[in-house]
Amino acid sequence: MKPVLEVRGLKAGYGGRRILEDVSLRVSAGEVVTVIGHNGAGKSTLLKSVFNLIPWREGEIELEGRDILGLPPDRILAAGIAYIPQNRSVFPKLTVDENLRMGGYLLRDRSRLAQRIEEVRGLFPALAQRRGQLAGTLSGGEQRMLEIARALLMDPKLLMLDEPSIGLAPKMVDAVFDTVRQLRSRGKAVLMVEQNVKKALAASDRGYVMELGEIRLEELAAQLVGDERVMRLYMGRR
C-alpha cells in the first residue's frame, strides 16, 4: 500500500543553520508513527518542514504520490495535511463552536461544514457540552482536544501532532492518546512528535529515533519500547 506521506532525503534549516540532514520516513493510512529524540534533535523542525514553515528545504515530500514540497501551508492544508503545533493555538476569546467554524474556513459548502462539526462533536462530547464556552477558559487538555477537533474539520488524510501531551495532567494525557487511537481506527494517518516516549509508542504502530537532525533508528513501536538503546537514552534506564 502506497504511503499517505512519504519524505525522502529531506534537508532543512533556517538562520544559516542546517537542522535536518537526509531525513526519510513514511506514514500510511490507519497508521500512527511517532518520532522520538532528545530536545534539539530536529523533531519539531521535521513537522514544520512538511508543512512548509521552514525557510529552506531540499528533498522530496509527497502526499499520496503528489509532490507538495513547493506548496504554501494553506494549500498543504487543503491537500490533506493538518498540523497542530506544540504551543496552544486556540482562539481564546472565541467560543468552542466559533473555534470549530474557524477550522473549516476553507470549506465553501456550509452544510458540509455543519455536518463535520456534528461529527467532531460526536468524537469529543466534552466539547459539545462546552460549545458556548470561551476557548481560553478551557483546561489545557480540553484546549488540545479542541485543536484536534478543529483540525479534523478539513477531513485531513494526515494529522501531524507536535508534543500533544506537553503540560497536561495525567488523565488528559491518556485522553489525548486515546484520541490518537480513535483517529487510527477511522483510517487517519498520524505523525506525532512526543517526549512521553512510553505512552506515545504504546499508541503507535511504528517509531523513528532522531539524533542531531538524522534518523538513527526505525522499528515497530513495540520493538522500540523493548530496545535497550531506546530504554537507556529516552526512558531513563542506565
Mean pLDDT, each 10-residue run in order, the chain (238 residues): 93 92 97 93 96 95 96 95 92 95 82 89 91 95 94 94 93 93 95 93 96 94 83 57
C-alpha gyration radius of the chain: 17
- Residue 66 CA to residue 83 CA, distance in Å, equals 18
* Domains of the chain as residue ranges with CATH: 5-84+156-234 (3.40.50.300)
Q: What is the DSSP string of the chain?
A: ---SEEEEEEEEEETTEEEEEEEEEEE-TT-EEEEE--TTSSHHHHHHHHTT-SSEEEEEEEETTEE-TT--HHHHHHHTEEEE-SS--S-TTSBHHHHHHHHTTT---HHHHHHHHHHHHHH-HHHHHTTTSBGGGS-HHHHHHHHHHHHHTT--SEEEEESTTTT--HHHHHHHHHHHHHHHHTT-EEEEE-S-HHHHHHT-SEEEEEETTEEEEEEEHHHHHT-HHHHHHHS---
CB of 160 closer than 8 Å to CB of 83 = yes
Q: Are strands 158-162 and 17-27 parallel, antiparallel or unpaired?
A: unpaired
Question: What's the farthest any 2 CA atoms get from each other in the chain?
Answer: 56
Give this prediction's pTM: 0.92
Angle in degrees, 0-180, between the axes of helices 96-103 and 140-152, rounded to the nearest 10: 30
